């Protein structure tokens, strides 16, 4: 719930925090390194990261071991009460001038810090809860019946590949694989010709559950450690050939990019919203998926995807905006419903597990979250300021995802999720 830590009037002595993506009301967690130094936890404040190991003496002694590890799994396992307590203490240190002399020397410029995947990811699952995306894609293959019969009853997901999740900035090596043109008799092997991005949110699991003990939907929020941006890069030509009968495989698992920061549920508390009403005639969720507080089940997170090409960067042209939309207008199932469903068969979720929402597209053309939708499967290429066109991504193209919540004079940013396409090795 909203508390004093969300007060828009709270200000930091870090001047760059005011009006930035990382004000004192945000304080997202991450893992950073500088040069050859060991990876360690930090929070973002304005244009800086604050080294939590360096200020350990100013923090609760009980937290120090978990906040000195090169990943945040143990810290997330402590749950949201610990998260809120740390947040409160950090806000005190960063707002009270009495602590400035002790804390300010441990601030490191964001441009100097190298950010890493913040957790050891034991498992990664990607869902498909963006109903407009599911409808748009389904319509390309089944014009008269775009959504399969189970979509409005069950949150659909697939098990991804945790080992290929990387932090923002990692190159996107064009994948090779089998592809089969509609008019070809047999498939061929080679680099993907229909490489795409997917604009998604990522959800970090905090406290887990025991094997065989499902998480009730009313308690699911307490198992969420935080949020990030996620780009589930997709080779659409490989996907079209391989996905039947078991779903995505090599078309997806070559790389998943995430933003480096874990934005906490408490930072997002003021931006809770009601889920969009279900259309008339849609089934009610089964009892295990019924939200106890539907008026607070969604998050008003603004989303953006932009594209630059090599030619655009040479010419100094602004990035081309591919998509602008909002998460709360895009999701048919809430994050709590995703978590509850994932564990409903007794599956044990663990601290540091990563869950993707699936591509988040709005109902209008301005908020489509993939080139597959924007170009209508390649039939309507996008024209760029450089006079180039794109149906899918070419080598040298760079996609940047951004997200933020804004209101009451406060902006809670997620940082960037960036990936530039490189030719197959």
User: CB–CB of 75/67 below 8 Å?
Assistant: yes
Query: Residues near 316 by Cβ (< 8 Å), separated by ≥ 6?
Result: none
Burial class (CB in 10 A: 0-12, 13-18, 19+), 46: buried
| Cα-based distances in Å from 149 to 143, 156, 340 | 14, 11, 21
Peptide bond into 289 cis (omega under 30): no
Nearest to 63 by CA among 86, 45, 79: 86
Active site residue 133: yes
The catalytic residue among 116, 132, 133, 223 is: 133
Q: Which two tokens stand for residue 331?
A: 């999701």
User: CB–CB of 349/224 below 8 Å?
Assistant: no
Q: What is the DSSP track for 47-90?
A: TEEEETTTTGGGS-GGGTTGGGSSSSHHHHHT-HHHHHHHHHHH
CA pseudo-torsion sign 96, 102, 105, 111 = negative
Q: Which two tokens stand for residue 217?
A: 């939907």
DSSP state of 28: -
Query: Residues near 373 by Cβ (< 8 Å), separated by ≥ 6?
Result: 133, 136, 137, 361
Pairing state between β 172-173 and 157-159 = unpaired
Nearest to 252 by CA among 423, 347, 120, 125: 125
Q: Which two tokens stand for residue 28?
A: 């997202």
User: CB–CB of 341/413 below 8 Å?
Assistant: no
- Which active-site residues does the annotation give? 133
């Amino acid at each position: 719930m909203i508390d004093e830590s969300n007060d828009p009037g709270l200000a930091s002595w870090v001047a760059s925090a005011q009006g930035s993506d990382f004000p004192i009301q945000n304080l997202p967690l991450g893992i950073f390194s500088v040069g050859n130094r060991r990876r360690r936890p930090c929070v973002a404040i304005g244009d800086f990261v604050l080294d939590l190991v360096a200020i350990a003496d100013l923090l609760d002694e009980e937290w120090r071991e978990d906040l000195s590890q090169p990943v945040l799994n143990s810290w997330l396992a402590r749950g949201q009460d610990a998260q809120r307590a740390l947040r409160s203490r950090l806000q005190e240190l960063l707002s009270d001038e009495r602590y400035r002399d002790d804390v300010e020397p441990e601030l490191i410029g964001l441009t100097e810090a190298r950010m890493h995947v913040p957790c050891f990811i034991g498992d990664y699952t990607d869902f498909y809860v963006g109903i407009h995306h599911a409808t748009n894609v389904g319509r390309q293959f089944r014009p008269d019946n775009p959504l399969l019969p189970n979509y409005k009853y069950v949150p659909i997901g697939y098990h991804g590949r945790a080992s290929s999740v990387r932090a923002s900035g990692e190159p996107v090596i064009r994948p090779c694989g089998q592809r089969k043109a509609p008019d070809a008799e047999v498939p061929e092997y080679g680099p993907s010709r229909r490489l795409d991005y997917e604009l998604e949110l990522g959800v970090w699991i905090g406290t887990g559950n025991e094997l065989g003990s499902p998480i009730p939907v009313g308690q699911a929020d307490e198992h969420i450690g935080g949020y990030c941006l996620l780009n589930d890069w997709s080779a659409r030509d490989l996907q079209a050939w391989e996905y039947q009968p078991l779903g995505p495989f090599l078309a997806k698992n070559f790389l998943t990019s995430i933003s480096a920061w874990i934005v906490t549920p408490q930072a997002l508390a003021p931006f809770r919203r009601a889920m969009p009403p279900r259309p008339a005639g849609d089934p009610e969720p089964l009892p295990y998926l019924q939200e106890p507080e539907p008026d607070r089940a969604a998050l008003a997170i603004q989303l953006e995807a932009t594209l630059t090409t090599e030619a655009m960067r040479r010419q100094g042209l602004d990035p081309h905006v591919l998509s602008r939309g909002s998460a709360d207008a895009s999701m048919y199932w809430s994050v709590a419903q995703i978590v509850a469903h994932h564990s409903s068969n007794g599956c044990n979720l663990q601290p540091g597990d990563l869950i993707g929402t699936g591509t988040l597209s709005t109902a209008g053309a301005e908020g489509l979250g993939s080139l597959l939708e924007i170009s209508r499967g390649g039939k309507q290429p996008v024209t760029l300021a450089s006079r180039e066109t794109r149906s899918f991504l070419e080598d040298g193209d760079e996609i940047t995802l951004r997200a933020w919540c804004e209101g009451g004079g406060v902006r809670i940013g997620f940082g960037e999720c960036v990936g530039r396409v490189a030719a197959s090795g």
